[in-house]
Amino acid sequence: MRLTMFRLLASLFLFSQLLTQAGTMKVYLGTQGRGLSKGIYLCDLDSETGRLSQPRLAAKISGAGFLALHPSGKYLYSTARGDENQVAAFQIGKDYILNPINLQPSEGSGPCHVSVDPTGRCLMVANYGSGSVAALKIDEDGSLVKSASAHQHEGSSVNLKRQRGPHAHSIYPGPDNKFAYSPDLGIDQVVIYSLDATTATLTKAGSARTSAGAGPRHMKFSKDGRYAYVLTELHLTVAVYNRNPENGLLGKARQEISCLPANGNSEGMSCSEIRVHPSGKFIYAANRDVQGEGRDSISVFKVLEEGRIKRIQTIPARVEIPRNIGVDPEGRWLLVAGQKSGNVPVFQITGDGTLKKTENEVKVANAMCIEFLDPED
């Protein structure tokens, strides 16, 4: 009788463990890699409860301020903004710890953003300090080949403190992988390139302007690829553009909407990150209070007809300086990287897209980027 009961309890325990594991996805957290932070950390996210496990160090590296996952799920790439300006390649081990593959120059100063094209053949990097971008070929083993395609942006704009020269802040493959888009904060433009992912080659194709002094930082595309949503760091807005699939160009901004409430004080505020919900129905933006007055927040937008958007919520971010936000692949949870406060809280995404506070959070010093890996993919 006792043996039977023991076997029953053991089976139930094993079954519960399998269920827990099946509902778990991995979260990589990029950090500054200085002081209390040592590099890239790894957590487990329970997709049912939103709970995060205690972070553990996945790779020791300095300046991993932005991360990008390979579409195969086998490799992870990061900026390596330490003593040298580089990008780093890692192989994801069986235990999800990151094994270093190699480093390559970012072909500029201050690498701040990386992305991988959908075929997994090309990594792109934006260099904020030099205002330049580069593309690097990814070999079959996940290693990076030194770039043979780098471009220097040119120009300036009206904000004398932030826009005396170009500051490429990010670069993304377009929805059809034929073009790449680089928001440049310093020149108030989204610089557009033709992209040959096979050879990792960028060719200048055009540009789209934002309003003067807006400072475009990051961007995302609508689910159908017809519209581009550009987050402006200095004006704290989301600008909506039509996208021409034939030549990749963006028209004049057809809408520009504030990330803050009408009565919100924008003095000493800036925007940092924008994400589109997997359903394509909602957009999320992070607002930073650089004056430290407790105004850090996350804004939620509903996507309307013809790509237009409407702000439906602004909620306290529960961090100081939300450098990055991430939406899990199932669209159930939103995580916030608190760069100054060193915490990563979890918000529940409700059916209407709005955010609901949870008690789930972990501590990670200098948290700067969030990247999800679903083991089932």
CATH number at residue 316: 2.130.10.10
Are both 105 and 254 inside the same structural domain? yes
User: Which residues constitute the domain of residue 346?
Assistant: 24-60+273-377
What is the distance between the alpha carbons of residues 249 and 233, in angstroms, rounded to a whole number?
Answer: 22
Residue 2, in any domain of the structure: no
- How far separated are the first and last CA of the chain, in Å rounded? 42
Q: What is the pLDDT of residue 275?
A: 98
Q: What is the pLDDT of residue 356?
A: 98
Q: What is the pLDDT of residue 9?
A: 38
Q: What is the pTM of this model?
A: 0.93
What is the distance between the alpha carbons of residues 373 and 377, in angstroms, rounded to a whole number?
Answer: 8
Boundary (domain end) residue, out of 220, 235, 258 = 258
Task: Give, as one character, the DSSP assignment of residue 145.
Answer: P
Q: What is the pLDDT of residue 2?
A: 46
Q: What is the pLDDT of residue 377?
A: 57
Are both 117 and 161 inside the same structural domain? yes
Q: What is the pLDDT of residue 82?
A: 78
Q: What is the pLDDT of residue 232?
A: 98
Q: What is the pLDDT of residue 83?
A: 78
What's the domain count of the chain?
A: 2
Secondary structure element (H or E) that encloses residue 21, with its range: helix 2-22
According to DSSP, the β-strands at 67-69 and 75-81 are antiparallel
Residues of the chain with pLDDT under 70: 1-22, 376-377
Q: What is the pLDDT of residue 376?
A: 65
Are both 111 and 135 inside the same structural domain? yes
Residue 317, in any domain of the structure: yes
Q: What is the pLDDT of residue 81?
A: 87
Contact 89, 74 (CB under 8 A): no
Are both 38 and 154 inside the same structural domain? no
Contact 274, 259 (CB under 8 A): no
Residue 118, in any domain of the structure: yes
In the block, which residue shows the tokens 């704290």?
Answer: 236
Q: What is the pLDDT of residue 263?
A: 84
